[in-house]
Copies of this chain bind each other. A is one copy, B any other.
């Protein structure tokens, strides 16, 4: 049971978008180059983010993506669910109903096994919901050496779209 590659990608992409100057945008191509991932497939993931209302795409030259709302209002859970879906990580297929000696019995509510597994799933989501995208930016600025941050800023600036 493993999350998709795309989840890692978009988390890093959002991190980069969060650090963009006001009004700035980055194209799929720039984001793909920056992270060394295939552009076409990354595009699909970014479209998921767009549909979830987390980022906004714009067309034309100097188009690209930017966050649709402040990084402080976007959680890790938002991003993960945009790509991975909101479905639980445990699917109960109600095998208790297959039981040959319990036929005719119509159990109410989810079975205890499912309840426990869903409770753990909820704990996982709670943890992700507690982390804002903005926290990522703060940590990165604190941990990444200043000269590298500047190189990154320069790299991004050279590819920046939008009304900057």
Interfacial chain B residues near A128, Cβ < 8 Å: 116-117, 120
Contact A148 B102 (CB under 8 A): yes
| Contacting residue for A1 out of B2, B12, B151, B152, CB 8 A | B2
Contact A102 B12 (CB under 8 A): no
Docked pose: A137 CA to B126 CA in angstroms: 28
Interfacial chain B residues near A98, Cβ < 8 Å: 35-37
> Which of the listed residues A2, A3, A112, A119 has the most CB atoms from chain B within 10 Å of its own CB?
A112
Contact B91 A8 (CB under 8 A): yes
Chain A at the B interface: SS class? helix
| Contacting residue for A91 out of B3, B91, B126, CB 8 A | B3
Contact A90 B2 (CB under 8 A): yes
Interfacial chain B residues near A117, Cβ < 8 Å: 3, 7, 11, 76, 128
Contact indicator per residue, chain A 86-129, by CB within 8 Å of chain B (1) or not (0): 01011111011011111001000000110011011101111110
| Contacting residue for A113 out of B8, B84, B145, CB 8 A | B8
| Residue A52 interfacial (CB < 8 Å) | no
| Contacting residue for A89 out of B1, B11, B140, CB 8 A | B1
Contact B139 A112 (CB under 8 A): yes
| Contacting residue for A151 out of B101, B136, B145, CB 8 A | B101
Contact B93 A5 (CB under 8 A): yes
Contact indicator per residue, chain A 42-69, by CB within 8 Å of chain B (1) or not (0): 0000000000000000000000000000
Chain A to chain B contacts (Cβ below 8 Å), 13 pairs: A1-B4, A2-B91, A7-B90, A8-B92, A8-B95, A33-B100, A35-B95, A76-B117, A112-B143, A119-B127, A120-B128, A123-B126, A124-B127
